[in-house]
């Protein structure tokens, strides 16, 4: 019983640490003036960091109580992959219309 309480406390701390890490990353990437391209790279980097941190959280805790973390990770991963696919598609269209 005490072990489960400790696990829930650690889970809450992990969620807080994920939020703090993303906030610090957001501050770090926006502390200097950015051009449009640098801002776009920052968005990609932050979304990648969110997916990685959520994946680490989702696979660190097991049990029915932590199923929401796995769902959030899955949804974030699908959105990130779609986003990256659209970026790749736009880059390929840009190459096609270079001349």
Q: What is the pLDDT of residues 53-81, one digit of tens each?
A: 998 888 888 777 778 888 888 999 999 99
> How confident is the model at residue 77, as a pLDDT?
94
Q: Which residues of the chain have pLDDT under 70?
A: 99
Nearest to 66 by CA among 3, 6, 12, 2: 12
> How confident is the model at residue 99, as a pLDDT?
66
pTM here?
Answer: 0.78
């Amino acid at each position: 019983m005490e072990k489960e309480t400790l696990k829930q406390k650690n889970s809450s701390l992990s969620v807080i640490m994920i939020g703090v890490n993303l906030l610090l990353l957001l501050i770090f990437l926006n502390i200097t003036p950015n051009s449009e391209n640098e801002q776009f790279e920052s968005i990609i980097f932050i979304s990648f960091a969110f997916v990685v941190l959520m994946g680490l959280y989702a696979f660190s805790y097991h049990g029915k109580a932590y199923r929401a973390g796995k769902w959030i990770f899955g949804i974030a991963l699908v959105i990130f992959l779609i986003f990256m696919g659209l970026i790749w598609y736009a880059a390929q269209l840009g190459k096609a219309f270079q001349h």
